[in-house]
Amino acid sequence: MSFSAKIKEEIFQSRPARKPHYRAFCYGLLLFGRRFGPQGIEAATEHPAVSKLCGWAIRDAVGARPSLSEQKTLRGQPLYTVELSDPQLCERLLASFGHAPGRVNRELIEGESFPAFLAGAFLVCGTASEPAKSYHMELLPPGGGLADLLFEELSLAGYPPKSSVRRGETVLYFKESEQIEDLLTMMGAPHCSLELMETKVYKDLRNRANRATNCETANIDKLVRAASQQLADIALLRNTGALLSLPAPAQSVAVLREQYPDASLSELSGYAGLSRSGVNHRLQQIAQAARRLREGEEQP
Q: Tell me whether strands 35-37 and 40-45 are parallel, antiparallel or unpaired.
A: antiparallel
Q: Delimit the domains of the chain by residue range.
A: 3-188, 204-298
Q: What is the DSSP letter of 243?
A: G
- Contact status, residue 101 vs residue 91, Cβ threshold 8 Å: no
For residues 149 and 156, what is the distance between their CA atoms, to the nearest angstrom? 11
Q: Amino acid letter at 172?
A: L
Q: Which helix (H) or strand (E) holds 41?
A: strand 40-45
- Contact status, residue 55 vs residue 65, Cβ threshold 8 Å: yes
| CA distances for 275 relative to 249, 252, 266, angstroms | 13, 14, 8
Region 273-285: what's the mean pLDDT? 89
List the end-to-end C-alpha distance of the chain, in Å, as a whole number: 76
For 159-183, the pLDDT digits (tens) are 999 999 988 889 999 999 999 999 9
Q: For 5, what's the count of Cα atoms within 13 Å in the CB-facing half-sphere?
A: 7
- Provide the mean pLDDT of the chain: 89
The reported pLDDT for the residue numbered 114 is: 94
- The closest of 74, 26, 71, 78 to 47, measured between CA atoms, is 78
For residues 253 and 237, what is the distance between their CA atoms, to the nearest angstrom? 13
Q: What is the DSSP letter of 103?
A: B
DSSP secondary structure string, 179-204?
HHHHHHHHHT-HHHHHHHHHHHHHHH
Q: How confident is the model at residue 300 (pLDDT cuts 50, 70, 90)?
A: very low
For 168-223, the pLDDT digits (tens) are 889 999 999 999 999 999 999 999 999 999 988 888 888 888 888 888 788 788 88
Region 235-242: what's the mean pLDDT? 88
> 162 in helix, strand or coil?
strand
Q: How confident is the model at residue 299 (pLDDT cuts 50, 70, 90)?
A: very low
- Contact status, residue 83 vs residue 33, Cβ threshold 8 Å: no
CATH for 3-188 is 3.10.28.10
